[in-house]
Amino acid sequence: MVHLALYATIAGLLLGIYFALLGLSVTLIFGVMRIVNLTHGALVVFGGYMAMVLLDRLQINPLVGMPLVFIAFVILGLILYYPIVVPISRSYDPEFISLVVFYGVMEVLDSIGRLAFGATHYSLKREIITDAVLPVWGMPLPVLWLYVGGISLAIILLFFVYLYKSETGYATRAIMSNRDEARSVGINVERISALNFGIGIGLAAIPGCLLSYIYGPISVDSSLTLTIIAFVVVIIGTLGSPLGVLLGGLISGVALGVTQVFAPSFASVVGDALLLIVLLIRPQGLFGRLQRNA
Amino acid sequence: MSEVLLKVKNLSKSFGGLRALDHIDLEIPSGQVVGLIGSNGSGKTTLINVLTGVYRIDTGNIEFDGREMQGESVRRRTILGLNRTFQIAGPFKSLTVRENVELAAKYGRGARSTEQSVADILARFDLLELADRVAGTLNGADQRRVDLARALATCPKLLFVDEIAAGLGDSDVRRLITLLKDIQKSGTTLLIVEHLLYFVRKLVDKVYVMDQGKIIFEGEFSAAVKNTQVRSAFLGE
Amino acid sequence: MHNRYSQLLALVITLVALIFLSLWGGLNQLLILNFLIFSILAVGINLSYGFINYVPFGYAGIFGIGAYALGISITLMHVSSIVGVLIGGVAGMICGLILLPLLRLKGAYFAVATLAAAELLHKIVANPILAEWTQGPYGLDLHLTGHSSLGLYLSLFLLLGGVIFTVFLRTSIFGRSLLAAKDNPLSAQAAGIPVYGGRMIIWLVSSVIAGLAGAIYALNVKFFYPDTVFDLSFSLFPLIFAILGGVGTAIGPLVGTLLLYGLYTLIGLKMPDVFQMLFGFVVIIVMLSLPGGLVGWARKRGIDLV
């Protein structure tokens, strides 16, 4: 029993690192532009679709394909930025308008996904990377999960290096803490925001390449659930806090892992339940400060 | 009816590490006009926010009209007769002037009835002409009058007037002074928070001076300007 | 005033015409029913968004609970259809009460929270553990036979009720107090307006409407799966219809539903994915260029609609 719990926890931690990776995009885009990206899950799935196409048509290993997916979606993000994001950030209520506009974009992406791939659930073959299994207290732990956890961790660390060690990252953090002040200090807020939006979109698609290895099939039907997971991760950790995302991811991952092992019929509601609980008990997240509400 | 309308004892409020209000003691006698002056950051606005219920206090005691107030909501205080003008928030910008006053007259009077109709209030504040204009389309000075009319429509016993003269021209300021004196005559007690000392001097019976969250002077205005502590706080002498 | 009354008259005439059309005009009854249901939902969401500024992405959750409340009360408790619908309304109110704590959250948080709540309700109802009551994922069959216009009458009745309530809000001082609270909650409290009480009342009315609508819908389709009635289209479409038409007005949701749902019946039934894409584009374009919807656009030209 204890072994089972430990196994669930380890699996959960690995899943949690992946979830943290999922959350990076949402927290970056919200932190910099105060935009609620409802298309997040759809982008993850599209990242998965792209990895799948690269594998099927060009025989490119998903791990190798990841940088390609990233670049492609950064470009997509930059293309979307000027006609859509700029008008939103200039509107009277960017948080709300972004919610609805991005819902619209989500519908567009969803329909494109359905037209192109239908509702079929796709999974990338595991053997391409490794089919090995590690016996952990007699229970099989797919080595692939360790790969996914490791790669996710690597990307997260790269992101932190970007955010905390690069000049652009420094400017980004300045914008995240106070947009107007950043502008008055001479930071080109518009250009940096555009860049971060692009990076954010790219960061949304990357986890899609690994999706079928650790979480579930690649299919537009999963988009909403993925969006909610990312939101849970980010809200637990405080919206706009990069460090919080890691913690939020681990907590969500372990919660899901443990639930899947001990109460599998409830596993599907863990994300939703967690989100509600956090929003009701501590909506500002673990690191946030509650603002007075009239 | 108590002689002292508002009694504040040992009021403190901190935001994180910052002590915004430091053991404030305050008394506002019924029927008077009391001034509250102090430089930016001295805590004046925080004090108003705390007294009207926007923020909760940390320690201390607020007694209004014989009643303990520190736990009451903004709305409850309005209904009990404690109101304020808003420096920033202002009137309902998407509604007309008339609607602004109507709502306050309907919802905010509590047990205090009056013969004053909405039209009377609009006339008193010189808003009849603007009555059907949407408040958001008016200029700053007019919007402030609408906000004042809104507050007065609730027939408050005590009204905090928060920096209402800021940025106004001379004639507007003089009109305001007359208006506020008139309001006092009809029975409303006033606390005027203000920067503009000319404005304060013309109106107040007594004045409190704040600096860095503390009250550093209480007394007549003429004595305040001679007080060394006040002078050093304001003028750095 | 004269303007208002003539508009109200036009509204009533249109609705009455709709009644005649649907019952005697020979139009496809299922189509009319769906149109009415979406109109009702648009009116309900309009109350929540237009008057108290809460966007319930999870409105479909309350709709679904209403449907299952009717379904369970008919299959297990053998009540009459009308009682079943009323039970649906009560279920809607209970949902609204349970979700009340979420009203503390602002804007986007509230929207996403209700989304999660709806998903949660959906999965709970669909869970095989509860199959004894809900028939779980196998679908609930009301075993109702025969053709009945009851559902149509009920939905018309509900729609009329919802519109009348909205008109009441638009013309009463209570309604104005809600708009004031939405405009400036702090000033509203300083005017004595019961901000929290008002929000609660409108939210609960909105929830009841969703519950009733779900029950009436279930009554009409007679057989449904959890996926059918908890489909997020029942939140998101009416929301967009209301926004396109113009939130905060009585006519707006109806105009929006007429236009967009009409578009759906022309294109969407044959090519759902294409419609979905078009719909998405409409949403994007409308939100970016016409955030006040069509009624807001009319208002800028001096036409004030009720």
End-to-end CA distance of chain A: 49
B84: contact with C, CB 8 A cutoff: yes
Q: Give the single-character DSSP code of B192.
A: E
Distance from the Cα of C183 to chain B's closest Cα (Å) equals 6
Nearest CA in chain C to A277: C113
d(CA B154, CA B112): 8
pLDDT of residue C86 exceeding 90, the answer is: yes
- Residue with the larger pLDDT of the pair B8 and C128: B8
C176: contact with B, CB 8 A cutoff: yes
Give me the residue label for tokens 């819908």. Answer: C217
Show the beta-strand stretches assigned E in chain C: 140-141, 223-224
* Assigned domain for A294 exists: no
CATH number at residue A215: 1.10.3470
pLDDT of residue A289 exceeding 70, the answer is: no
pLDDT digits (tens, 9 = 90+) for C49-62: 999 999 999 999 99
Per-residue pLDDT at A291: 45
Mean pLDDT for B108-127 is: 87
Nearest CA in chain C to B74: C189
d(CA A185, CA A182): 5
* Assigned domain for A293 exists: no
B141: contact with C, CB 8 A cutoff: no
Instruction: Specify the CATH number for B1-72+185-237; select among 1.10.150.570, 3.20.20.80, 3.40.50.300, 1.25.40.10.
Output: 3.40.50.300
Single-letter residue type at C237: F
Closest by Cβ to C192, choosing from B79, B90, B91: B79
How many percent of chain C have pLDDT more than 70?
A: 90
Per-residue pLDDT at B236: 64
Per-residue pLDDT at C145: 64
Closest by Cβ to A107, choosing from C189, C280, C288: C280
Residues in B touching C186 (Cβ below 8 Å): 54, 74, 86, 89
Closest by Cβ to B106, choosing from C173, C179, C187: C173
Query: How many cross-chain Cβ pairs, A to C, lie less than 8 Å apart?
Result: 116
Residues in A touching C55 (Cβ below 8 Å): 96, 99
Number of domains in chain A: 1
pLDDT digits (tens, 9 = 90+) for C134-168: 777 778 877 776 556 788 889 989 998 999 999 99
Mean pLDDT for C222-250 is: 89
Q: Tell me which of A108-112, A187-191, C286-290 is least confident.
A: C286-290
pLDDT of residue C25 exceeding 60, the answer is: no
C177: contact with B, CB 8 A cutoff: yes
Cα–Cα distances in angstroms (integers) from residue C154 to residues C39, C96, C214, in the given order: 13, 22, 12
Distance from the Cα of B202 to chain C's closest Cα (Å) equals 27
C189: contact with B, CB 8 A cutoff: yes
Domain ranges of chain B: 1-72+185-237
pLDDT digits (tens, 9 = 90+) for B3-13: 899 999 999 99
Q: Does ipTM exceed 0.85?
A: yes
d(CA A205, CA A200): 9
Q: What are phi and psi of C222, to 5 degrees?
A: 65, -15
CATH architecture of C2-300: Orthogonal Bundle (1.10)
At B1, the pLDDT band (50, 70, 90 cuts) reads very low
Closest by Cβ to C186, choosing from B54, B95, B109: B54
DSSP chain A: -HHHHHHHHHHHHHHHHHHHHHHHHHHHHHHHH----TTHHHHHHHHHHHHHHHHHHH---HHHHHHHHHHHHHHHHHHHIIIIIHHHHTSS-HHHHHHHHHHHHHHHHHHHHHHHHTTPPB---GGGT---EEEETTEEEEHHHHHHHHHHHHHHHHHHHHHHHSHHHHHHHHHHH-HHHHHHTT--HHHHHHHHHHHHHHHHHHHHHHHHHHT--B-GGGHHHHHHHHHHHHHHT-TT-HHHHHHHHHHHHHHHHHHHHH-GGGGGGHHHHHHHHHHHH-TTTTT--PPP--
Other C-beta atoms closer than 10 Å to the C-beta of C5 total: 10
Helix (H), strand (E) at residue B189: strand B189-194
At C1, the pLDDT band (50, 70, 90 cuts) reads very low
B95: contact with C, CB 8 A cutoff: yes
Nearest CA in chain A to C184: A294
> What is the domain range of residue A27?
2-281
B44: contact with C, CB 8 A cutoff: no
Mean pLDDT of chain B: 89
Q: Give the single-character DSSP code of C136.
A: G
Mean pLDDT for B127-133 is: 91
C191: contact with B, CB 8 A cutoff: yes
How many percent of chain A have pLDDT more than 90?
A: 39
